[in-house]
Amino acid sequence: MVEALMFGKWDARYHPLYEPGEKVKELLAECCITLTDRPEAFESEAMKQYRLCILYGEFDEPAFGDEETAGLLSFVSTGGGLLVLHNGISVQNRSELGQMIGGEFLSHPPYEQLPVLHYKGKAAAHPVMEGVSDFCAEDEAYQFQLDPLADIQIVMEYQYEGKSYPAAWVRRYGKGKVAYCCAGHNGKTFENPEFGKWIRNSAAWLLSEQEEG
């Protein structure tokens, strides 16, 4: 069974880990997923047991320390798979990790309730989009500044107030791979079957080409 680590904060103000973490465990039943809120879990020695890492952190948490940053960078660059969901991009507060992900969260429009976003595939031929149909979900309309130097492929967009924005992308980083999607504000989005397919496809793609051992 694939050992995986999912990071977030149990008591986060906006994106607590528990419900999304349990949903991801259901979606990736072939993985043995450890849920943690301990940044030290990313230190290099601790990461050796995992093949997949899932980020669902929070923006108001402190930046990763040097050891955790080095551990996560080493994990991906030497062949690990990194799945970043919604607010997991918050690790951008360490610039090295933001560069690895390939984009920086800028903002989301103010709202009194979550807007309904229409997600549309942009790269049907990519494995992470296989069988994933367009779908709608109530979620935050995250907006980004993509790294012009990062070789990323946008695989999904969302439409908000008549405009299209990047919603998901993939990239290779050293010997490893990264997949990001901005959906996932709460557990309800994870119940959407199309988003579930994207998560399962992404995990499969991130784990492909890895050496067993």
Q: Is 153 domain-assigned? A: no
Q: Is 100 domain-assigned? A: yes
48 vs 42: CA distance, rounded Å: 9
Q: Write down the H helix ranges in the chain.
A: 18-27, 44-47, 66-77, 95-101, 187-190, 193-207
Q: What is the pTM of this model?
A: 0.96
Query: Taking a C-beta distance cutoff of 8 angstroms, is the pair 85, 20 a contact?
Result: yes
Task: Find the domain containing 65 and state its range.
Answer: 2-105+168-207
Residue 13 clears pLDDT 90, i.e. is over it: no
Residue 213 clears pLDDT 60, i.e. is over it: no
Q: Is 113 domain-assigned? A: no
Q: Is 157 domain-assigned? A: no
Q: Is 213 domain-assigned? A: no
Q: Please write the tens of the pLDDT for every residue from 93-114.
A: 999 999 999 999 999 988 778 8
Q: Please write the tens of the pLDDT for every residue from 15-65.
A: 999 999 999 999 999 999 999 999 999 999 999 999 999 999 998 889 999
The total of structural domains in the chain comes to 1
Q: Is 118 domain-assigned? A: no
Average pLDDT, rounded, for the chain: 94
Query: Taking a C-beta distance cutoff of 8 angstroms, is the pair 48, 62 a contact?
Result: no
Q: Please write the tens of the pLDDT for every residue from 123-141.
A: 888 999 999 999 999 999 9
Q: Is 92 domain-assigned? A: yes
Percent of the chain clearing pLDDT 70 (strictly above): 99
Residue 212's pLDDT is 43
Q: Is 133 domain-assigned? A: no
CATH number at residue 69: 3.40.50.880
